[in-house]
Amino acid sequence: MRDDRETGGRRRGGPRPAMRTGIPESRCTSVKVHLVRPSGGLLAAALMACLALTPSGLGAADAPGEIPLTIENNRFQPEELKVKAGAPFVLVITNKDKGPEEFESHDLRIEKVIPAGKTVRLKMPALKAGSYRFVGEYHEKTAKGRIIAE
């Protein structure tokens, strides 16, 4: 028999080691795996069962609602927004004016510049019942409004 170094680490005549495990091939056994694909009806039933067990379906009920607010002619439209107290929401502010406006609410501690011709989405926290005033800081005399949480 030749030296292992001369034959690239293999011995002549003996079992060759498996590439990944290091176990000689003579001791390896093969296993066939058959995957079973569920039928469409079974898959749909399983999906429906999962959805029925979750409290909010796909989570859409938990998503905060969107409240639109438009700035046009240096005024907010609508001037009064009603939201559900205790529920977060998204305030979607669209500025249709030719210049920027700053949405500012001291009550909510929010200041956000809305560029001309742009829409900004503000994630609002759940509010306690009450009234929260806001203004357009660049046009405070005309751009006024309030959010009423009920």
User: Which domains, and CATH codes, for the chain?
Assistant: 60-149 (2.60.40.420)
Between CA 99 and CA 113 the distance in angstroms is: 11
Contacts by residues 50-54 (CB-CB < 8 Å, ≥ 24 positions apart) = none
pLDDT in tens, 48-93: 665 555 554 444 455 679 999 999 999 999 999 999 999 999 999 9
Between CA 100 and CA 97 the distance in angstroms is: 7
Query: Checking phi first, is residue 49 left (phi over 0); if not, alpha (psi -120 to 50) or beta?
Result: alpha
Residue 104 DSSP one-character state: E
Would you say 61 and 82 are in contact if contact means Cβ atoms under 8 Å apart?
no
Would you say 95 and 117 are in contact if contact means Cβ atoms under 8 Å apart?
yes
Q: Is the pTM of this model over 0.75?
A: no
pLDDT in tens, 100-119: 999 999 999 999 999 999 99
Would you say 92 and 69 are in contact if contact means Cβ atoms under 8 Å apart?
yes
- Does residue 15 have a cis peptide bond before it, meaning omega lies within 30 degrees of 0? no
* pLDDT number for residue 59: 46
